[in-house]
Amino acid sequence: MADSQNPVHELLDPKTDYYQVFADVEGEDLEWWKKARDFCDYARPYVNEGWEKAEYQLHVVEEAGKRGLVRDGIDIEGEPHMSVRAARLMAFELARTDASLGTAFGVQGGLAMQSIAMCGSEEQKAKYLKAMSKLEIRGAFALTEPDHGSDSIGLETTAERDGDEWVINGEKKWIGHGSVGHIAVVWARDTSDGQVKGFIVDQDQDGYEAETITGKASLRGIPQAHIKLNNVRVSEDRRLPNANSFRDTAKVLAGTRISVAWASLGLATDCYEKALDYAQRRTQFGRPLVKNQIIQQRLADMLQDLTSMFLYCRRLLELEESGEITEQQAALAKVHCTRAARKISADARDMFGGVGILLENDVARHHADIEALHTYEGTDTMQSLIVGKSITGVGAFAG
């Protein structure tokens, strides 16, 4: 095994990162990772309460803003640089603690802020990004509709130009921060040219109605909304000038699909480590559970899947840093990592036996939350079809 004095090993046990995939993280990236761990230590006592009661622990997310962590690698004037590598390691660490918390970061930074950073004007960036990074402004990303999830390219929400304003009508669903935020980046189809465009909408303005979705069995710690937009008027300066087609929207989504792969790695890592620890402590039939051959085999099987996830994410990072990553490569990683995380979390929950359903042991919460990650930002089927088309040359998205 690698040097036990490696500072990375304070954050990630070499018996978990079995091939030492991230043993070389150093410098500013390592410091950001440590800051994420420190924040997660602060957040951890609030996680299960929020999940059990389906309550948003807003003060926890606001603390992250005060610490300057809500960035998703976006360069903001006056703020220290955060690399892509640092942002991905933070996504891993946050999900390792709580997927609802990681999703809150993803909604705020990876979706709402990135939409403005990638598609907004310089004036919009100056007005919103720094304030959003501090959580002084909470943002939502309103793309998914009641009848358009995986086929969001077919969205029905419309935007009609009326002089110096746009009039937006339609519905959105499953929108994080959509009922507890300040603004929403709403994606709508321009009635004049049929193209999808983005608009910054204040959540308290006339015609914007949002209801928090209840009864969820996954990601219970972050509110998601069903939004109705009825003749919502926004001025031309609220339109994102560099969002002129769904292709521009897809550029934002590509980054979040990468983040889902990293978040899945975080969830799976915690499940594996919790299962290993429990198997070493638990005594059954007069001996430690870990002395049973079947338990060791199951742990080794979990480690195989986990190691493949580490390798996927490392290569994905290299491609992203070099600017060579493709939508298809991101899709393959999202599919593989969420599938593997589902399997690892199920094995971990089972290995705990009856107490595995208790929130205090974390694995049941992770097991439920991975179901949402497996679905959002493009379902398993849709991502597989993206990959399938790339290797066959034939699209099979509609039967």
d(CA 176, CA 104): 7
Longest dimension (CA), the chain: 79
Q: What is the dihedral of CA 273, 350, 91, 379, to 10 degrees?
A: 150
DSSP class of 98? -
pLDDT of the residue at 398? 66
Task: Please answer whether residues 339 and 374 qualify as being in contact, where contact means their C-beta atoms are separated by less than 8 angstroms.
Answer: yes
State pTM to two decimals. Answer: 0.94
DSSP class of 135? T
pLDDT of the residue at 362? 94
User: Looking at this protein, which amino acid is placed at residue 341?
Assistant: A
The mean pLDDT values, 10 residues at a time, for the chain of 399 residues are: 77 96 97 97 95 95 96 93 96 96 95 97 97 97 85 84 97 96 97 96 97 96 97 97 91 88 97 95 85 93 98 96 92 94 96 93 96 87 88 81
Joined together, the tokens standing for residue 364 give 């049941």
Joined together, the tokens standing for residue 131 give 């304030």
d(CA 197, CA 239): 8
Burial 147-164 (b: 16+ CB within 10 A, else e): ebbbebeebebebeeeee
Domains of the chain: 9-134 (1.10.540.10), 139-245 (2.40.110.10), 247-392 (1.20.140.10)
Of 108, 283, 74, 249, the residue nearest 183 (C-alpha): 108
pLDDT of the residue at 257? 87
